[in-house]
Amino acid sequence: MKNILACVFCLLALAGSSIAGDALSTQSNDAAYDQAEIYYTDWYMTTIAALSPDDVRSGWSIKITVKGQEETAKLVRWARFDDMQADPENQDLGDVRLVIDLFKGGERTSYNANQFYLMSKDGQKRRKLTPAFRAKLAMFDKPCIGKMSYEDLITLQYGNANIYFAGWSDSWDEDVLTPEQVREKGFLFIQLRNSIRTDLFMDWAALNKELEVEKNMDKLDSQPWRKNVRLVVDVSAEEGSTKSYYANNISISTGDYSGFRIISDVFLSKFMLFDAP
């Protein structure tokens, strides 16, 4: 009887070890990549010819860089690459609008997407895209982006924009970051290449409106929460000048802290791109 019990316990231990090993293996696969680079050009933009992955890499309108194994693992889980299935009858990449490059050491693993499918590099595996997937990568799009008139285009005020994000924090006295540190150490770097993209972002973030005047500038140093920066937005104007905005998880302010506004949960969640809902 004792021998039977001992065998049972051994089998249970081995099973538990196997399950733990599978869990560790899954975590290891999720965290296998050190960085990701995502290139996007408009899902619905009309072009003379179908775009290739290299066309998107060179002609992107939004580029997102994700740094670090933990954050890259979130992207991998969100994109559900493992859900792609072989489709022998449909291996054409089509009109590519999105490229995801994952890096581990010196190696690159690539995935492409057209308006309908997320695909392996060679197109042999794919899964259908959802509207939520397309909206996530389009970032600050509006339904009317493909219908902008000449009058809309000549009123664009901005050039390119660089957005740096280091993760929201509720602490006002620990891990306080300066704008320079966010630019250097942030794990998410979003580049908006053209005036349309930048104007759409400025409109979405309500930064094209006058911000409330900060009335306590002389007391700013006694309010450390004002300076615990987690998001930096550098916007170039058409004439060549640059404006900066800094945000923590309560407000977003001008670069000189002279104006600010309170931000919403929608604003906060926008930059937690690949976190689980």
Separation between Cα atoms, residue 152 and residue 209, nearest integer Å: 17
Q: What is the pLDDT of residues 44-68, one digit of tens each?
A: 888 899 999 999 999 999 999 999 9
CB atoms within 10 A of CB 192: 26
The residue count of the chain comes to 277
Say whether 93 sits in a helix, a strand or coil: coil
Q: What is the pLDDT of residue 276?
A: 67
**Percent of the chain scoring above 90 in pLDDT:** 48
**Is the model's pTM score more than 0.95?**
no
How does pLDDT run across 99-156, given as a tens digit for each residue? 999 999 889 999 999 999 999 998 889 999 999 999 998 888 765 444 444 445 445 5
Question: Which residues have C-beta within 8 Å of that of residue 241, sequence separation ≥ 6?
Answer: none
111: how many CB neighbours lie within 10 A of its CB?
Answer: 20
Q: Higher-confidence residue: 143 or 18?
A: 143
Return the H-helix or E-strand segment holding 99.
strand 98-104
Residue 35 in tokens: 């960085």
| pLDDT score, position 30 | 47
Q: Is the pLDDT of residue 231 over 90?
A: yes
Given a cut of 80, whether residue 236 has pLDDT beyond it is yes
Kindly report, residue by residue over 155-178, the tens digit of the pLDDT. 556 789 999 999 998 766 567 899
